């Protein structure tokens, strides 16, 4: 069977690991998938998407800075994309209409639960940040029924807006918003979803949020320990994880959405760590 075409679209795109991840999935599953990277000009995202599907492309991943545009552009959105306000996965349905999905939230939950043995149910969770990346993961985290989910952000109004948006999905979870300075007790799990480290900063949260059993998860990934994870280790965190597993898990979920086949993620995560 001839290969079917998939790609990731972003700007910049040259550092994306998605082509490598999906090539490994294709190899492992025997699916006829060819996966490339496309750099769309900043003001030409929709034209790039249209052109890709017109020439027979089957599915796209979308990354920075186009995830919100992908969401707007789509004719239909899956419920999880609707709530996320952004899309990382696009495909055409049987009527040739563009569907937007978001697999980021499922990605972090699967990485925590399947790869790191962190079941979210009943945990006290602190999320740092309230931007697009955080909005994409709140719904799937709440679905696991943590005992508490506190969203702390530099701009408190943005954290409060997320709490309003997800209030109906909270169930028995105590969902709240605050500034970085407010949390002062240890949490079971701390997720850093800010982009502070891109500017060489740390979110100015008190080290009291870290106790001897605290697991810390930085949604960024890096070959070295991330700045935030190093800070957490220096203050006695039990374990730290970066977002590489989330990246592979969201990719696996996109692969499943497109192909109906679920690749194994553990060997791919291991392979990327040794690249
Ligand atoms: P992303 O798509 O990565 O989520 P974003 O929507 O721009 O990007 O959100 C970035 C997040 O990181 C926000 O929560 C932002 O805080 P504000 O909402 O107050 O802007 C946070 N952030 C960025 N730089 C930061 C810094 N230097 N210190 C603390 N928080 C920072």
CA 56–ligand 1 middle distance (angstroms): 37
| SS3 of residue 168 by DSSP | helix
Residue 228 in tokens: 């935030």
Binding residues for NADP(+): 129-133, 153-158, 219, 243
What's the CATH class of domain 105-242?
Answer: alpha beta
Q: What is the reported pLDDT for 222? A: 87
107 CB less than 6 Å from ligand 1?
no
DSSP letter at 155 equals S
What pLDDT does residue 1 have? 74
- Measured in Å, residue 94 CA sits from the centre of ligand 1 at 38
Residue nearest to atom 26 of ligand 1 (CA): 196
CB 178 within 8 A of CB 150: yes
Give yes or no for residue 33 CB within 6 A of ligand 1: no
The whole-number pLDDT of residue 151 equals: 98
Q: What is the pLDDT of residue 146?
A: 98
Q: Name the segment(s) of the chain with CATH classification 3.40.50.10860.
A: 4-102+245-273
Decide if the complex's ipTM is over 0.95: yes
In the chain, where does the domain assigned CATH 3.40.50.720 lie? 105-242
67 is catalytic: yes
Report helix, strand or coil for 146: coil
SS3 category, 239: strand
Q: What is the pLDDT of residue 197?
A: 82
Question: Model-level pTM?
Answer: 0.96
Q: Is the CB of 158 under 6 A from ligand 1?
A: yes
Q: Whose CA is nearest to atom 30 of ligand 1?
A: 196
**Alpha carbon separation from 22 to 31, 40, 61, 114 (Å, rounded):** 10, 20, 11, 20
Q: What is the dihedral of CA 241, 185, 154, 174, to 10 degrees?
A: 90
- Burial class for 157, CB neighbours closer than 10 Å (0-12, 13-18, 19+): exposed
CATH number of the structural domain 4-102+245-273:
3.40.50.10860
- The residue whose CA is least distant from atom 24 of ligand 1 is 196
Cβ of residue 244 lying under 6 Å from some atom of ligand 1: no
Query: Which residues are within 8 A (CB) of 169 and not within 5 positions of it... i.e. 6 or more apart?
Result: 83, 139, 142, 143
Q: Per-block average pLDDT, block size 10, for the chain (275 residues)?
A: 94 97 98 98 98 98 97 97 97 97 98 98 98 95 98 98 97 98 97 90 96 97 92 98 98 98 98 91
Whether ligand 1 lies within 6 angstroms of the CB of 132 is answered as yes
């Amino acid at each position: 069977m001839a290969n079917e075409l998939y790609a990731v679209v972003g700007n910049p795109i040259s550092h994306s690991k998605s082509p490598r991840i999906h090539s490994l999935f294709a190899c492992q599953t025997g699916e006829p998938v060819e996966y490339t990277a496309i750099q769309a000009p900043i003001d030409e995202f929709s034209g790039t998407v249209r052109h890709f599907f017109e020439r027979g492309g089957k599915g796209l991943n979308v990354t920075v800075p186009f995830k919100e545009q992908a969401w707007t552009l789509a004719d239909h959105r899956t419920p999880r994309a609707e709530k996320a306000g952004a899309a990382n996965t696009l495909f055409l349905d049987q009527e040739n209409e563009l569907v937007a999905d978001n697999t980021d939230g499922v990605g972090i939950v699967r990485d925590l639960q399947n790869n790191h043995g962190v079941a979210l149910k009943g945990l006290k969770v602190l999320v740092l940040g309230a931007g697009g990346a955080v909005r994409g993961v709140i719904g799937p985290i709440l679905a696991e029924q943590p005992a508490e989910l506190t969203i702390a952000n530099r701009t408190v109004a943005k954290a409060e807006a997320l709490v309003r948006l997800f209030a109906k999905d909270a169930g028995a979870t105590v969902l709240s918003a605050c500034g970085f300075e407010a949390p002062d007790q240890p949490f079971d799990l701390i997720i850093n979803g800010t982009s502070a480290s891109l500017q060489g900063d740390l979110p100015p949260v008190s080290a009291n949020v870290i106790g001897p059993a605290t697991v810390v998860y930085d949604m960024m990934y890096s070959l070295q320990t991330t700045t935030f994870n190093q800070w957490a280790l220096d203050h006695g965190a039990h374990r730290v994880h970066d977002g590489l597993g989330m990246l592979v898990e969201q990719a696996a979920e996109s692969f499943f959405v497109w192909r109906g086949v679920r690749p194994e993620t553990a060997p791919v995560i291991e392979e990327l760590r040794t690249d």
